[in-house]
Chain A
Amino acid sequence: MPTLRPTLHLDRLGSVIAGLIGLALVASPFVTYRANRIVSGEGRLLFDALPPAGAVGTILVVIGVALCAALAHRPLVRLAAASLGLCVIFPAVGVSAGFVTPVGNTFARVSPAIGFWLLALAFALLAADALTRLRLGPWGRLAALSIAAGMLALLLLSGAWSDLSLMKEYANRAESFWREGRQHLWLAFGSMGAACLVGLPLGLASHRVPALRAALLQGLSIVQTIPSIALFGILIAPLGYLAANVPLAAALGIRGIGAAPAFIALFLYSLLPVVANTMAGLSQVPADVTEAARGMGLSRRQRLVQIELPLAFPVILAGIRIVLVQNLGLATIAALIGGGGFGTFVFQGIGQTAIDLVLLGALPTVALSFAAAIILDAIIDLTRRGGHDRD
């Protein structure tokens, strides 16, 4: 915005956001039009992507948001501007799909293009920055997340996006989408649960027995450095052997490839954060607190359950948060060895050079990780009862 007088106080991040918005508006196509789902397409600027009245309205809103980003200082105003922007461009890209597609053409595909993504990124940055400045408490953040999720659900259920290529890919695979979604969640949450069941006692044991500590942490760190593909490879032989020789294993669906090695790999990757954070949590319990507890006659077990675990809990939860966010992302690669999950669409899409199919797998994964991070952060804050150890 070079025309602004220097007397106005510019917001630094806001100016960058405004710049992004300007770039998106002037130089980037809003949607891509393709004659069918795999040919390369041609971009359409925002002005050409919507009916004239809609295009002008959208552009005005977008410019307004850019001005707010650069000039407004109150976080609530900035948040409102960002929300308005998101509420306009998300339906707009759906409308645009219907507008750009020739009537009656069922092969043509319309996808959001770089301009749309830049705008979405700019507005999301603005919203995130405003939310940070508002310093929302845990409940506030959960509420903001629910509102965002509700709006997204409304958008998808209303059919506003049904002309978009992404939703056409979904419509063709609705059944397998939900099946792979369940598989994805099962892989991520199941391996996390298993890691907690094993990692908490391990962390506790290594807190009590210093000799165990170094060996365990080193072993788990080495596991952490093995690339996932290599870990799958390592697991094929023993699991294949197990499947061939132990009838129960075969009956449980354990094979050299498939969900079992993916589950085990995710489980192994999850152990380090759980064990390390359990140990860290327990060791940061102040020495005078444990001394006082002993002196008052709390037994070993009472000290653990009433004092040490509650005080270590936020740190342990932080470990679980790392695991969950990591697993939700990592579970994608399970599809490489037939383990299912959203990765299935990603790898299919790559194989078919159908970028919208890749997005069908990638977007839900990102959304899940994002939501899991926010929810667990809020829970961690809520468990810091009494506001202790905020240092």
Chain B
Amino acid sequence: MIEIEHLSKHYGDNIVVDDVSFAVGDGEIAVVVGTSGAGKSTLLRMINRLVVPNTGRVLIDGQDTATLPEDELRHRIGYVIQGYGLFPHRTVAENISTVPRLLGWDRRRIAARVEELLDLFQLDPGEFAQKFPHQLSGGQQQRVGVARALAAKPALLLMDEPFGSLDPVIRGKAQDDLLAIQRRLGTTIVLVTHDMNEAFHLGDRIAVMDQARLLQYAKPADLLTHPAEAFVEQLVGTAERPFRLLSLVTVKDAMEPGSAEGEPITVSATLRDALAQLIWRGRPALPVTDASGAPVGRISVDGILKHGRASLS
């Protein structure tokens, strides 16, 4: 549990973060979105005290982070930045083992951990452990950056535009991979981005910031249906709203009994993807199958549209 209480930061007269409070539950992903210069990164950097707040405090599991030595605090918090900041003179294995070595883990434990993480991020240890960062593609560097941040099994991971330098094709895959790994490890994540799609894709809760203030902190669906201010509505995109909403719900929730002709859709697909299929195939309904491929019902355009409206009532 991360509790951010009344955090403020100013440089001279320039207020960068203004009285921001919110809490992130264990195992949740909180995404901080906003335009550039909104104070997102400063807020994030106050959590691991790379920036010392002027007022307010951050509690991790009830403990005030100001009471811990800075370096010790940072050993317990994973940190990923946009350029990853991999150490160019160290191999992938050495990069990943940075914090475990600082913590004095023994060699065998470190080696096992490095291998485990490389496997987790689908990088063959035999091939990648001894490579240098400049020998990796952007996507591989990104994975090594996240693996390095997770090396000492931190309960909290801070990510500042972690997908910002990836091209759109790899970005989607990297986001899915992060989600899968996060669900598996149960790590709490605070992630900063300016990309609304990313926020809706990853966030259990989304914090919208503008001009140093936190405008709204809510679940994605609430942000769409009950925007607190005009700016939030604008940022979310009025035209995009119904589609974003559909992307938050899976086929399972809008499924009807019965059957239909055509290419089946799985229950775990989002309604947005299902609608896209229905439009593309030119059919009023398509069959739905479960993970094993067995038919379990049908999904129709009407059913989806009803779902898109329902939350507004």
A55 to B73, CA, bound (A): 81
Whole-angstrom CA separation of A17 from B207 in the bound complex = 72
Shortest CB-to-CB span from B84 to chain A, Å, is 7
Say which one of B9-17, B75-83, B181-189, B289-297 lies at the interface with A: B75-83
> How far is A290 from B14 in the complex, measured between Cα atoms in Å?
25
Which of A294, A295, A302, A307 has the most chain B CB within a 10 Å cutoff? A295
Chain B, residue nearest A297 (CB): B74
Query: B226 at interface (Cβ–Cβ under 8 A)?
Result: no
Interface residues of B in 63-110 (CB under 8 A from A): 70-75, 79, 81-91, 98-99, 102
Which chain B residue has the least Cβ–Cβ distance from A290? Answer: B85
Within 8 A of B (CB), among A291-336: 291-299, 302, 307, 310-311
Query: Which residues from chain A contact B193 at a C-beta distance below 8 Å?
Result: none
Residues of A within 8 A of B73 (CB): 297
B72, B81, B145, B158: the one within 8 Å of A297 (CB): B72
Let me know if A302 and B85 touch, CB within 8 A.
no
Q: In chain B, what residue has the closest Cβ to A313?
A: B89
Binds B, one of A27-35, A202-210, A248-256, A382-390: A382-390
Known: A288-B81, A302-B102, A386-B132. A295 touches B48 (CB 8 A): yes
Do the beta carbons of B89 and A297 come within 8 Å of each other?
no
Asked whether B34 is an interface residue with its Cβ less than 8 Å from the other chain, the reply is no
Q: What 0/1 readout, one digit per residue, does chain B (121-161) give for beta carbons within 8 Å of chain A?
A: 00000000000111000000000010011000000001000
A380 → chain B, closest Cβ, in Å?
A: 14
Complex alpha-carbon distance, A296 and B148, angstroms: 9
Are A296 and B81 touching (Cβ within 8 A)? no
**Structural contact, A297 and B71, CB atoms closer than 8 A:** yes
Known pairs A292-B79, A296-B75, A298-B71; A388 contacts B102 (CB<8 A): no
Residues on B with C-beta less than 8 A from A307 are 87
- In the complex, whether A286 has a CB less than 8 A from a CB of chain B is yes
- Name the residue on A nearest B88 (C-beta): A388
Q: Is A289 an interface residue (CB 8 A)?
A: yes
Residues of A within 8 A of B170 (CB): none
Query: Which A residues are in CB contact (< 8 Å) with B75?
Result: 296-297
Minimal Cβ-Cβ distance residue in B for A294: B50
Residue of B98, B99, B132, B158 near A388 (CB, 8 A) is: B132
A292 touching B86 by the CB < 8 A rule? yes
* A296 vs B85: C-alpha distance when bound (angstroms): 11
- B72 to chain A minimum Cβ distance, whole angstroms, is 7
* Shortest distance between the CB of A288 and any CB in chain B (Å): 4
CB-CB under 8 A from A296, the residues of chain B are 74-75, 79, 98-99, 102, 148-149
Whether the Cβ atoms of B132 and A297 lie closer than 8 Å is no
Min Cβ gap B106→A in Å is 19
Chain B min CB distance to A261 (Å): 41
In the assembled complex, the CB of B154 is this many whole angstroms from the nearest CB of chain A, namely 10
Chain B residues with CB under 8 Å of A311's CB are 88-89
Point out which of A288, A296, A386 has the most chain B C-beta atoms below 10 A from its C-beta.
Answer: A296
A385-B89 contact in complex given A296-B74, A297-B74, C-beta closer than 8 Å = yes
* Interface flags, A360-391, vs B, CB<8A=1, else 0: 00000000000000000000000001111100
In the complex the two chains form, is B134's CB within 8 Å of A297's CB? no
* B71 surroundings in chain A (CB, below 8 A): 297-299
Task: Please pick, from A286, A297, A298, the residue contacting B83 in the complex, using a CB distance under 8 A.
Answer: A286
- Name the interface residues of A86-109: CB closer than 8 Å to any CB of B: none
In contact, A292 and B102 (Cβ under 8 angstroms)? no
Which chain A residues border B99 with CB–CB below 8 Å? 296-297
Q: Please, which residues of chain A bring their CB within 8 A of the CB of B79?
A: 292, 295-296
Instruction: Give Cα A288 to B86, complex, Å.
Output: 8
Given contacts A297-B72, A299-B71, contact A310 B89 (CB under 8 A): yes
Assembly CA distance A357 to B208 (angstroms): 82
C-alpha spacing A172/B158, complex, angstroms: 76
Given contacts A297-B99, A310-B89, whether A292 and B74 have CB atoms under 8 Å apart is: no
Residues of B within 8 A of A310 (CB): 89
A371 CB to nearest B CB, Å: 28
Q: What is the CA–CA distance of A289 and B71 in the complex, to the nearest angstrom?
A: 16
Closest B residue by C-beta to A310: B89
Min distance, Cβ A54 to any Cβ of chain B, angstroms = 55
Query: In the complex, which of the residues B71, B88, B133 has the most CB atoms of chain A within 10 Å of its own CB atom?
Result: B88
A291 CA / B99 CA spacing, docked (Å): 14
Q: Which among B50, B70, B75, B81 has the highest number of chain A CB atoms within 10 Å?
A: B81
Q: A297-B75, A298-B71 are in contact. Are A388 and B84 (CB under 8 A)?
A: no
Q: Are B132 and A292 in contact (CB under 8 A)?
A: no
With A295-B48, A297-B75, A298-B102 in contact, is A289–B85 under 8 Å at CB? yes
Residues 239-290 (chain A) with a chain B CB within 8 angstroms: 286, 288-290
Across the interface, name the chain B residue whose C-beta is closest to A384.
B89
* Complex interface: chain A residues within 8 A of B148 (CB): 296
Residues on B with beta carbons closer than 8 Å to the beta carbon of A297: 70-75, 99, 102
B134 A388 Cβ-Cβ under 8 A: yes
* B residues less than 8 Å from A386 (CB atoms): 88-91, 132-134
Chain A residues within an 8 Å CB radius of B132: 385-388
Instruction: Check if A295 sits within 8 Å of B50, measured CB to CB.
Output: yes
Residues of the A chain whose Cβ atoms lie less than 8 Å from the Cβ of B89: 310-311, 385-386, 388
Query: What would 21 A/B residue contacts be, using CB atoms closer than 8 Å?
Result: A286-B83, A286-B88, A288-B83, A289-B85, A291-B81, A292-B81, A292-B84, A292-B87, A294-B74, A295-B48, A295-B50, A295-B81, A296-B79, A296-B99, A297-B70, A297-B99, A302-B102, A310-B89, A386-B132, A388-B89, A388-B134
Question: Which positions in B face A, CB cutoff 8 Å?
Answer: 48, 50, 70-75, 79, 81-91, 98-99, 102, 132-134, 145, 148-149, 158
Closest 5 CB pairs of A and B: A292-B85, A297-B74, A386-B132, A295-B79, A388-B88
Known: A295-B85, A298-B71. 12 other contacts (CB 8 A): A288-B85, A295-B48, A295-B50, A295-B74, A295-B158, A296-B75, A296-B102, A297-B74, A298-B102, A385-B89, A385-B132, A386-B134
